[in-house]
Chain A
């Protein structure tokens, strides 16, 4: 039983990783001419190594910044506001209904929703007072109930959320950003929340006696809600 449970979880994780990888590879394959993630990191590192924050002028060709835009922004000498080119409105464009970033968003919201349903589906305590010893109590159900199914689905979805976040928002998190950067906080809290939920599910699934796991799982869910709120 334990082996089956482990195998099922591992298989589900592999499927999710493959799915995330395929989506990312599909995106990358459509833009063969564009730099890869590796080139971004190497150039970024070289650039930031010798760069202070927000310097007055940039001279690197890897940046398309004000320093090489001055002739466009400032206009010719003697120009006035009246003869500078007016910006025309952007072309009509419909955002895609589904994208990697939106999948991440939906997975995150789905995780929180499933966590809420898992709490609501929690079984009633069989005995609160004058309980018989654990050996005389009926065997604990660690699978097959609505609660356990929802809990496992929540844990898997939480892992999928974290993974899709890493894939589709990898360029939103940088070492040089301060600790309070919203994206950094979001990533840290969401990962912590997912790990707490995984721990709670794992702890409960491998215990034959009633075990305290609800608090940890609920803390994980709340942590995830805070993470979502920070970047909502």
Chain B
């Protein structure tokens, strides 16, 4: 009987700790004792980042690239030639966006997909395109080209939210994928 009460007491203690850490910052203890799902990528929480990046393209979550990539992408020189486009920002805005991206980069996140990206990019040069990441390319490997490049509703892998219906929330689960013009498709 004593053993049962010990188990119940342990469970109660664990639950109270979890609830205490439910809203904690993203650190190891916070992650460990947080039962909320952290399987995907941390959604964008900075309005300025969302507005500035989202003005031209999908505001990719910082957790999709390691910090070294954001360092290489978000500086004044790089933004003048941002994938062939002049995306220059004033210094104050750039600093906010740069700091937000670096602080929430894949290698600083406890979310699962970010951790996968982080461990796969620890070595080697900083990847500059999310679509170049081995993890991302492998995930899309089996999708026929006609469904992406040849699909007027998608056009490119860069447009995450065309198929990932909950991409804005950082959710990239297979179960949330709906490829335009190919209803019912499943990998």
Check if A40 sits within 8 Å of B120, measured CB to CB: no
Check if A27 sits within 8 Å of B141, measured CB to CB: no
Interface of chain A residues 109 through 138 with chain B (CB within 8 A): 116, 119-120, 122, 124
Q: Which of A1-9, A58-66, A188-196, A204-212 contacts B (4 or more CB under 8 A)?
A: A58-66
Of the candidates B122, B125, B165, B185, the one whose C-beta lies within 8 Å of that of A31 is B185
Q: Residue A30 at the B interface, CB < 8 A?
A: yes
Whose C-beta in chain A lies nearest to the C-beta of B149? A64
- Given A75-B85, A87-B162, A95-B176, are A232 and B184 also a contact pair (CB < 8 Å)? no
A31: chain B residues at CB < 8 Å are 185-187
Q: Residue A38 at the B interface, CB < 8 A?
A: no
Check if A69 sits within 8 Å of B131, measured CB to CB: yes
Q: Residue A229 at the B interface, CB < 8 A?
A: yes
Bound-state Cα–Cα, A89 to B162, Å: 7
- Given A65-B131, A96-B175, are A90 and B158 also a contact pair (CB < 8 Å)? no
Measured CB to CB, the closest approach of chain B to A118, in angstroms, equals 11
A70: chain B residues at CB < 8 Å are 84
Interface residues on A, range: 35 or more
A27: chain B residues at CB < 8 Å are 186
B157: chain A residues at CB < 8 Å are 64-65, 69
Measured CB to CB, the closest approach of chain B to A29, in angstroms, equals 11
Q: Residue A32 at the B interface, CB < 8 A?
A: no
Bound-state Cα–Cα, A183 to B85, Å: 37
Contact pattern, A 76-100, Cβ under 8 Å of B = 1, otherwise 0: 0101110010110111110110010
Interface size on B, residues (CB 8 A): 70
Measured CB to CB, the closest approach of chain A to B50, in angstroms, equals 13
Q: Which of B19-27, B93-101, B132-140 contacts A (4 or more CB under 8 A)?
A: B132-140
Contact pattern, B 57-83, Cβ under 8 Å of A = 1, otherwise 0: 110000000000000000000000001
Interface of chain A residues 205 through 232 with chain B (CB within 8 A): 229-232
Check if A84 sits within 8 Å of B57, measured CB to CB: yes
Whose C-beta in chain A lies nearest to the C-beta of B155? A72
Q: Residue A143 at the B interface, CB < 8 A?
A: no
Whose C-beta in chain B lies nearest to the C-beta of A125? B3
Interface of chain A residues 33 through 62 with chain B (CB within 8 A): 33-35, 40, 43-44, 52-54, 56, 58, 61-62
Measured CB to CB, the closest approach of chain B to A32, in angstroms, equals 12
18 A-B residue pairs with Cβ-Cβ distance under 8 Å, sorted by A, are: A30-B186, A40-B141, A53-B120, A54-B125, A54-B127, A64-B145, A64-B149, A65-B132, A66-B132, A69-B158, A73-B84, A75-B84, A81-B85, A81-B87, A90-B178, A91-B178, A95-B175, A182-B115
Binding site for A on B (CB under 8 A): 1, 3-4, 7-8, 11, 32, 35, 37-39, 55-58, 83-87, 112, 115-116, 119-125, 127, 129, 131-134, 137-145, 148-149, 155-159, 161-168, 173-176, 178, 180, 184-187
Binding site for B on A (CB under 8 A): 27, 30-31, 33-35, 40, 43-44, 52-54, 56, 58, 61-66, 68-70, 72-75, 77, 79-81, 84, 86-87, 89-93, 95-96, 99, 101-102, 116, 119-120, 122, 124, 171, 174, 176-178, 180-183, 229-232
Closest 6 CB pairs of A and B: A74-B84, A93-B178, A93-B165, A66-B129, A81-B56, A72-B156
